[in-house]
Amino acid sequence: MSSAPEFRHLVRIAGKDLNGNKKLVAALSDLRGVGDNLAYVTVRRLGFDSKTRLGLLSEEQIKQLEAALHSSGGASLPKWYYNRRNDRETGETKQLLGSDLEFAQRNDIEKERNIQSWKGIRHGLGLKVRGQRTRTTGRKGRTVGVRKAALVEAAKSAAAAKEEK
């Protein structure tokens, strides 16, 4: 029997299937709520080599990695590493992953809409929220701009034909 674990092409971490062919940091950053920096710091703290492929990890190492990601709020990292700083309900700083992050964002936007703040109104109208310009960008639907020369010529000829009648 060989001591090396068998390679797995799909590895399930935090409710998402990750590509086992990717290196650890790249694979972990595919999780919603985990960026490159947090993935790298988590891998380094656990003592794993960041260049190894995710599919080569044993089941115990994957459980250890998932536990570290879920409990990263107590990892004594700087506050700016976390995606949920000073939570409105609890006041604590924590890291949310996957559907928990989406749920928290949806609740935050709904609260803004209910109190009818400026940000809530902009969210409700589907406009930019953070002060970006809207004069030329952020348009939905058909683009407005300069017409192509062929279309202009076709329109002119159609107008000339109409005048002759």
pLDDT at site 68: 87
Q: Which of 73, 71, 74, 62 is nearest to 28 (CA)?
A: 62
- 59 and 22 within one domain: yes
Whether residue 143 lies inside any domain: the answer is no
If one counts the domains in the chain, the total is 2
State the residue for tokens 């590493």: 81
Pairing of strands 10-13, 16-19: antiparallel
Q: Which of 65, 16, 63, 73 is nearest to 45 (CA)?
A: 65
Helix (H) or strand (E) holding 10: strand 10-13
Whether residue 2 lies inside any domain: the answer is no
pLDDT at site 75: 63
Helix (H) or strand (E) holding 19: strand 16-19
Question: Over 70: is that where the pLDDT of 74 sits?
Answer: no
Residue 107 belongs to what domain range? 98-138
Q: Which two tokens stand for residue 87?
A: 């939570």
Sign for the CA dihedral angle at 32, 33, 35, 39 comes to negative
State the residue for tokens 């570290």: 68
- 106 and 75 within one domain: no
Task: Give the model confidence (pLDDT) of 8-51 as tens digits.
Answer: 888 898 888 999 899 999 999 999 989 998 899 989 988 999 89
Whether residue 150 lies inside any domain: the answer is no
Q: What CATH number is given to the structural domain containing 23?
A: 1.10.8.50
Give percent of the chain above pLDDT 70.
88
Alpha carbons 104 and 98: distance in angstroms, whole number: 10
Count of residues making up the chain: 165
Whether residue 77 lies inside any domain: the answer is yes
Q: Within a 13 Å sphere around the CA of 65, how many CA atoms are in the beta-carbon half?
A: 29
The pLDDT mean for the chain works out to 85
Whether residue 5 lies inside any domain: the answer is no
Question: Over 80: is that where the pLDDT of 1 sits?
Answer: no
Q: How large is the C-alpha radius of gyration of the chain?
A: 26
Whether residue 90 lies inside any domain: the answer is no
pLDDT band at 150 (very low <50, low <70, confident <90, very high): confident
Whether residue 37 lies inside any domain: the answer is yes
